């Protein structure tokens, strides 16, 4: 079933894993941050589903398009995941800060919302691994 490289398989695997992670976040958020409204909860679900799809799509690039350097799956997915969660934290800073304060306290070592960047890198690595494992990578994924 997963023998041939396929961009659609990469995207489906990425979206599936992203959906599962988003669903975990959506369902566990009220226990962590009771003030979380439905808009934030649905946003987390949709964010990580889209996050997985984007990492799946980027599996086509095995070389950096500008620098012409090798861009292996583990580097590509980690950097992309970190970047996506940096953007999320940048635009939803107040909510992310409230979540981190609820989890670790205001003066806790992990109270900065920018720890979500590390979370994004790790989730990106996980999604990148499975998308590459089951969907392949490179130009061959588009040819199918």
pLDDT digit string, tens, across residues 42-85: 999 999 999 999 999 998 888 877 888 888 999 999 999 999 99
Helix, strand and coil percent figures for the chain, each rounded to 5: 70, 0, 25
The count of residues in the chain is 144
**Looking at residues 117-136, what average pLDDT do you find?**
94
Token pair in block for residue 87: 């953007």
pTM: 0.88
pLDDT of 128 over the 60 cut: yes
pLDDT at 90: 92
Provide, rounded to the nearest whole percent, the portion of the chain with pLDDT above 70: 97
């Amino acid at each position: 079933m997963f023998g041939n490289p396929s961009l659609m398989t990469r995207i489906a695997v990425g979206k599936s894993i992203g959906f599962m992670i988003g669903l975990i976040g959506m369902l566990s958020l009220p226990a962590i941050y009771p003030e979380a409204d439905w808009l934030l909860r649905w946003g987390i679900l949709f964010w990580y589903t889209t996050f997985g799809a984007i990492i799946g799509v980027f599996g086509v690039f095995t070389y950096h398009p500008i620098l012409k350097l090798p861009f292996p799956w583990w580097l590509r997915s980690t950097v992309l995941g970190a970047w996506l969660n940096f953007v999320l934290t940048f635009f939803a800073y107040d909510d992310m800060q409230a979540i981190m304060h609820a989890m670790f306290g205001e003066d806790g070592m992990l109270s900065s919302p920018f720890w979500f960047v590390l979370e994004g890198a790790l989730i990106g690595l996980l999604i990148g691994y499975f998308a590459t494992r089951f969907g392949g990578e490179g130009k061959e994924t588009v040819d199918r």
